[in-house]
Structure 1
Amino acid sequence: MAHSSSGFRGTRVGVTEGAGLKNQGEDPLGERLPRICVSYWCVQGHETRPVFIKLPEDQIPEVWDCRRCGKTASRNPDSAPGQEPPDDGDGYKSHLDYVKERRSSQDAEEVLAGALRRLRARGGLAD
């Protein structure tokens, strides 16, 4: 079952209209389904262009997550260009943000000191 906001509505990439079993018909590939590319812009000006199966305008999502920064992007490039969307706590986090949640600065210093000791013991790092 496809997610209700999915633009592909249960199809897979490469699936074509009229595609059946490989041993059926003369042209097993059928006709390619029409697709459209939709532009979304986030508050930082990044453009994201996902590809959807051609759907009615009201079924294409109004917002999409930016692929560069993870913020919410809209289809209107002029909508609230300088305003940050409300932070709902589920925002984008970098790998470093997750590491900082798990380790304190003291833990980081201990891990770094241990790694440097091992490198120096192998002769891979000068004092």
Structure 2
Amino acid sequence: MVHSASAFRGTRVGVTEGAGPKNQSEAASGERVPRIRVSFWCAKGHETQLVFLRLPDEQLPTVWDCRRCGAPASRDGKEADLPDPLDEGFKSHLEYVKERRSDQDAEAVLAGALEKLRAGGVLPDELLRDA
């Protein structure tokens, strides 16, 4: 039997155990730490709003990933337009596969998979003839 004190409990990042909706310093002093809502915009115009502790402007991040498209987003919307020379951008699984295989390799893998399906009787032949 698992003891309740040792049971795994899920919490959000940044929340301290036993503090409830306030963090420990807030709970000890009884005052809320001032917060600020910051907006970030990506090159596509998507807005991402985040809440941070009220810090000096230079300590707040200048770039954040867009929640909708994953592109870099900045507070003024202009820095996000500049592509990062080290970032290749989002690649789909198919794009990664195409980097590793030639068209001839892909045809051979597809033909082998179709033969296995036909031999195993998993799909009717009329569905696989045109493939």
Alignment partner, residue 13 of structure 1: 14
Q: Which residue number corresponds to residue 112 of structure 1?
A: 110
Q: What amino acid sits opposite 2:88 in the alignment?
A: G
Scaled by the length of structure 1, the TM-score of the pair is: 0.61
Q: Does residue 1:97 correspond to 2:104, yes or no?
A: no
Aligned pairs for 1:1-127 within 5 A: 12-15=13-16, 16-18=23-25, 34-77=34-77, 79=78, 84-94=81-91, 95-127=93-125
Q: In the TM superposition, what is the alpha-carbon distance from 1:61 to its structure 2 partner?
A: 1.0
Aligned with 2:83: secondary structure?
Answer: coil
Is this contact kept in 2: 1:39–1:49, CA < 8 A?
A: yes
Point out which structure has higher relative CO (alpha carbons under 8 A, 6+ apart): 1
* Corresponding residue of 1:5: none
The secondary structure found in structure 2 opposite 1:58 is helix
How far the C-alpha of 1:42 sits from its partner, in A, is 0.9
Cα deviation 1:50-71 (Å, max 9, x = unaligned)? 4433322221111112234332
> How far off its partner does 1:38 sit?
2.4
Greater share of helix: 2
Residues 90 and 54 of structure 1, relative CA distance in 2, 3 Å threshold: same
Tell me which amino acid in the other structure corresponds to 1:72. Answer: P
Q: Which has the larger radius of gyration?
A: 2
Identity of aligned residues (%): 56
Shift of the 66–126 alpha-carbon distance from structure 1 to 2, 3 Å rule, reads same
Looking at structure 1, the residues matched to 123 and 73 of structure 2 have their Cα atoms a distance apart, in angstroms, of: 46
Cα distance in structure 2, aligned partners of 1:56 and 1:80: 20
Structure 2 unmatched runs, 5+: 1-12, 17-22, 126-131
User: Which one-letter code corresponds to 2:89 in the other structure?
Assistant: Y
Q: Aligned AA for 2:109?
A: V
CA RMSD of aligned residues (A): 3.0
- Mapped to 2, the partners of 1:101 and 1:57 lie a distance apart of 42
Unaligned runs of 5+ in 1: 1-11, 20-26
8 Å Cα contact 1:63/1:73 also seen in 2:
yes
Q: What amino acid is aligned across from residue 90 of structure 1 in structure 2?
A: D
Please give the alpha-carbon distance, in whole angstroms, between the structure 2 residues aligned to 1:50 and 1:104. Answer: 44
